[in-house]
Structures are given as C-alpha cells and as structure tokens.
Structure 1
C-alpha cells in the first residue's frame, strides 16, 4: 500500500510538472507571437507587463498554500484581460482549466471551464471575423474531453484512496485481533502450566503441612519427614516456575531426560502413604519431538493432580503406549469415579483440569477420551498422532 501511495504521488507530481511547463511554454509562445506581429502597437508594453504578471500569479497560485483561491482568481482575471487584448493568449486556457479542476470543487470548476471556453471561442471568432465552425466547436469539445478525463481521474483517485484507507484500517484491526489472540493463547498457556505444576505442588505442600501438624506432638519424626518432602516439592516447583516463564521444557525433560524416565520420576514423587502411583511403558517410544514429550508430561501431571484432589483413589497407573502412527498416554485410578456427561460443578472444580488436557491434546491434533462411572474409577486417555516416514524407526523431529 505504501508503494501504491508513492506511485500515485509520483504520477501526480509528474503530471503537474508537465502542465506547469506547458503553461509557461504557451505563455512564452503567445507573447513571442504578439511581439513578432504587433511589436509597434501601443498596447505592447501592457501586454508584456500583463504576461509577466500572469507568470508570477501562476507561480503564486501553485506555491502559496494560504489564499490560493484568491491568487487563482487574480490569475484568471489577468488572463481574461490578456485574451481580450491579445486573443492568441487563449492557448493558455488548457493549463488554467487543469489548475481550476484540481484546486476548486467539481461544480465550481465546471462553471469556470464553461466561462473560460466561452471566452476562448469569442476571442477566436473575433480574430477570424466570421463564425468558423471549427473555432466554435473545437474549443468546447477539447474542454469537455479535458474536464471529463480529469474528473474521472480524480474520482478514481478518491475511490482508490478510500480503498487504501479501508485496507489500512482492516490491517490494523487484523493486527489488533492477532495481538488479542496471542495474548489469550499466552494466558491459556500460563494457566495450564500453573495448574499442572505450581497448583499441583501447592496442593501437595498443603496436604503435607496439614499431615505434619496433625502428628507434630505424637510423631515428630514423621512430621519432619512431611516438612522435608514439602520443602523438596517447593524447590521443584520453583524450578518449574522459572522454566515455564521462559517457555522451556519441564524440569524433568530439560536435562536431556527421556519421557519414560520423566513419567517414572513423576510416579515416584506422587506416591504417598495414601496413593500408590505406578508407571508402565509399552513399546519403544524412541526419540519424540520435545513439544510432544512436554505435552504428555504435563497431561500426566494434571491428571494425577485431579486424582489426588478429587478421586480419593489408592492406586493410579500411568501407561505410555507407542504405536506406529501415534503415542497414547493413559492415566487410570481406582477412585470414586464420576459421570463424564454430568455438568461440571464450578464450586468443586476450580482449576482447569480436563479442559486443560483437551486443549493441550487438540493443539497437537490429538484426541482425548475419559471413561468413568460413579464408583468405578476413571481412565483418561490422550492420543497424539506422529508423523513418520516409510520405513522410519523413529518419529521425525
């Protein structure tokens, strides 16, 4: 759009230079013709003075931004006097018509063109001495064509300017929409990261501190064990917070660890006196894209957080299954279960939970299913497709 605007300005500037040059050439030619044929006439000094004044007024009407209509009116008046005294100066009408069309409103400019054309016709008929059809009809025809072309070009330029304004406004609105979408996506990312890491860690710390408070007097050793565990969780959550702020991989994967090892470490950390978490790996996952590994680990963390907070389960199992075209993560528990079709109670489910899991899986083109029933536990399954080459033994990175 900037190039289009620049091209339009260049074309307008070139046309103006041509018209201005044509005016001074016609003015000089008309004056020279008068001096050659009527140099001994009494009005010659006046013609010369008026020609100089006409040249100056034309320059002022173009250069002075303030009072331009006044300068142009003086220009037309001076030219009219010249045409009455020397009809050959009528040739200067064409540049004057262009200037009037460019400077004045369309209606006023058309009236000016009619007046100037009538003056040109009358002056030429006066020179010829009779009603020459060529002199009577040619100037109006030229004036009509010139006016039509200029008015059409100006209207087209106005339409193009309006179109460019619409395009600029649309681009700005699109950029604002993209910024808003980016902001919302980043908020969603942070919300899911906080739910799956910090919120889970804070929940574990709260339970450990409550357990330590209950046995503080009766079993100080167990209370200290709970405190040390809570401190370790706090340290790990601090590391996670620093990493997801910078959009890095989870701490268990940052040091080059594999997804199976990270899931095994997660199961070990989540195992408590009340909940036993097991980890099974089926198939050989091989090297996976870091984004898929981070997503599956976050899903497992979020699922175990839900198990610990809502399921009242005693056992949970993480199963990672590697297939030819997809990798599947299952998190199953033997808790109280629930009805997946029932509406969610906002008072009980304050976090992101399953919506966050579904959002993570959908970002990678996968599917998420939940199988559960009251009293029968819950199985969450997340399947993510893998792009493979024929004959490849590992997933493309």
Structure 2
C-alpha cells in the first residue's frame, strides 16, 4: 500500500486483526490442552497448521500480490482448515470474525459478503451441534458478521478516499511544478526582453551615434592628421554595433529575428499553425513600429490564444488583428469555432479564471497595463481582445 496520511490507521487495523487471530488461536489450543478429549491432539496439530498457513499469507502478500490464483488457493486452504477445526472444537468458531475481513479484502464487496454469510451460517450450525442451540449461539455470529461488514466496508471506503486524496495531492504537486517552470520560463523571457530593450536603447544607439559622428569627421577632412585613428575608431564602433545587434537578436524570441511582429505571425501561420489544421489570417501592418518587449508579449499572447483555439474551439479559421490609432493599440484573436459558455468566468478580472491559459494571458496583459475582454457564446466562436496604451508603454 502506498504511504498516505492514513497509512498508520490501516496498519493499526491490520495489526489488531492479526493479534486477534493469534489470541483466538491460543484460546483454542489452551482449551484443547486444559480439557483433553479424544480429538485434542488433532485440534492442537490443526490449530498450529492454521497458524502457519495464516502467517504464510503475510509472505504471500509481499511476493505474489499480482497472482490472484495463489491468493485464492491460500484463502481456500485457510477456510478449509478453519472449517475442520470448528467441526472438532466449538471455540474455533470465533476465529471466523478475523476471517470476515479477509473475505471482504480479498474477494471484494459482493463475493466477500457471500463468503461472510456462508461462514456465519456454518459457525452457527457448529456452535449448535457442539453445545446445543441457543439464542446467543445464533445472534452472536450474526452480530459479529454485521459488525465485520460495517467495519470492512468502511475500511474499503476509507482506503479509496485515501487513494483519491493521494492522487489529488500528486496532481497538485505536478501542477505546481509545471506552474513554477512556466513562471520561471516567463521570467527568463521577460528578463531577456528587458535586456534586449536596454541594449537597443542605450548601447546600440550610442554606438550608432558614435559611428555616425566619426564618419562625419572622416568625410569633413580626409587629409587631417590622425585620420587613420578616426577611421579605425569608426570601424571599431561599427563592429561593436554589429555585435550589440547580434546580442539583441539572441535575446529576443527566435520568431522575431526579422524584428517585425507581422512577419513572425505570418511565418507561424504558414508553418506551425497550418500544419495543425488551422487557417490563421494575420492582419497586421509591417509599418506598425512597436517596442521589442511589446512585440514579444503580443507574440506570446497570440501563441497562447491560437493554442487554445486548436485544442478547444474546433475552429477552421482564426484571425489575428492589430490596429493602432494614435496611442491606442487593439489586438484581437477571433475564431469561428464552437465557442463556450463564458458565464462562469469572472467578468471583471479574468486573471482569477480557472483556465490556466486565459489566466496567464490576463496576467501578461495586466503587466502591460492593458485590458482583456472575452466575447464568446456557445455556437458562435470566440473573440479575445486586448486594449493597450502605447504612451504608457513608451
């Protein structure tokens, strides 16, 4: 059994049953010794055999858990020995109580219950034949069988709940690990984008300005003393500018190597998304100049939205649109899929949604200071819209 918070309870119950069986077996042997009869020797020998057979069950449980035939043969042998022992001495009838739990555990609810009823009937008949019929001889085994059924079924329900809880905990741990990895990846991408933006806005721009100034000085008077040093400085600045731009390309997402969001989206639409059976139409002007970190964010939002469309929407066409009106940018992804009921989703704060992809998109939009809206209904597709202020992002 896998270790859970309830494992000590299960171990305690099983240990108690083992102790009970051993104690009842000792009582049977003691009665045979203290009250000798013709069958006392047979009772003692059979009781010891029953104890050894019962002990073999622990070894069998460790080495042959998947061999149902071996377990069934062991249970049949244990039952047969108990039947013979009970026929020889009435005190052995009480051993049926721990056997009840074995029947339920190994045979299941229905066959186990049938075995309990049959063994109870045999115990009642054996007690009646040995000591005469009485109310206690009939009611006692019946009460014991009822109690065993209740405890056994409760034990099984508790075990199932423990397994479900353990599976849930494992799922939560796995999800937490994935979320941590995703958050780490997002943080790395954000930091790379920030570094690329800083290099572009400071180092690259500075080197470009130095190159232009040196080039102007070189053209102004090509015969002045030290012109070779000026030319060398210009060439060094140009080489360093090339390196800086290479750093920027390596820090930005590979899809944005051409420095245009429109080109990256069209390339994904023609390759990756088309291969997955979705016709993605891109309506973005190449002339729209956006900061690199904003291009990266919109690219990630688009990838997440299209992934949801492919996985859930059953759509054939999706349209990605980016429009800029002054300082206002509107980004949208619309599909012609089946849509869904958006009523369970919070209308004011989509970042609290249970949908991880939608929540991640909402959090990214919030980091950009924008707003995210979702327009959908069953049977009419879905449109995801992001409104941003370019002035706030500059």
Q: State whether TM-score is above 0.5.
A: yes
- The aligned runs of 1:1-397 (5 Å cut-off) are 5-37=3-35, 39-41=36-38, 43-65=39-61, 66=64, 67-130=70-133, 132-198=134-200, 201-202=203-204, 205=207, 209=211, 219-220=221-222, 225=230, 228=233, 231=236, 345-347=285-287, 349=289, 351-352=291-292
Show CA shifts across 1:225-251 (max 9, x none): 475367469879999x99xx9xxxxxx
Per-residue deviation at 1:126?
Answer: 1.1
Report the CA distance between 1:370 and its aligned residue: 5.9
Q: Distance in 2 between matches of 1:226 and 1:362?
A: 48
Tell me, yes or no, if the aligned pair for 2:127 and 2:137 is still in contact at 8 Å: yes
SS for the counterpart of 1:96 is helix
Alpha-carbon distance between aligned partners in 1 of 2:233 and 2:53, rounded to the nearest angstrom = 94
CA contact (8 A) 1:50 1:82 kept: yes
Distance in 2 (alpha carbons) for counterparts of 1:226 and 1:348: 36
Deviations 1:324-359 (A, max 9, x none): xxxxxxxxxxxxxxxxxxx97445526526679999
2:103–2:115 Cα contact (<8 Å) kept: yes
Cα contact 2:4–2:162 (8 A) shared by 1: no
CA distance in 2, matches of 1:217, 1:360: 48
- Check the 8 A contact 2:103/2:112 in 1, yes or no: yes
Instruction: Return closer, same or farther for 1:381/1:165 CA change in 2, 3 Å cut-off.
Output: closer
Q: How far off is 1:98 after superposition?
A: 1.9
Q: How far off its partner does 1:26 sit?
A: 0.6
C-alpha distance in 2, partners of 1:189/1:362? 17
CA distance in 1, matches of 2:365, 2:87: 87
| Post-superposition CA distance 1:197-235 (Å, at most 9, x none) | 147534554575577668867744678547536746987
Contact residue 57 and residue 74 of structure 2 kept, 8 A = yes
**TM-score between both structures, scaled by the size of structure 2:** 0.56
In structure 1, the residue matched to 2:355 is none
Deviation at 1:44, TM superposition (A): 2.3
Cα 1:346–1:153 shift into 2, 3 Å? farther
Q: Distance in 2 between matches of 1:109 and 1:215?
A: 99
Whole-angstrom distance in 1 between the partners of 2:215 and 2:75: 95
* Structure-2 change in CA distance of 1:105 and 1:362 (3 Å): closer
User: Max radius of gyration: which structure?
Assistant: 1
Q: Do the aligned partners of 2:207 and 2:237 also contact (CA within 8 Å) in 1? A: no
Cα distance in structure 2, aligned partners of 1:356 and 1:196: 14
Are 1:31 and 1:51, in contact at CA under 8 Å, matched by a contact in 2? yes
Displacement of 1:195 in angstroms is 2.0
The change in CA–CA distance for 1:196 and 1:346 in structure 2 (over 3 A counts) is farther
Task: Give the secondary structure class of the aligned counterpart of 1:104.
Answer: helix
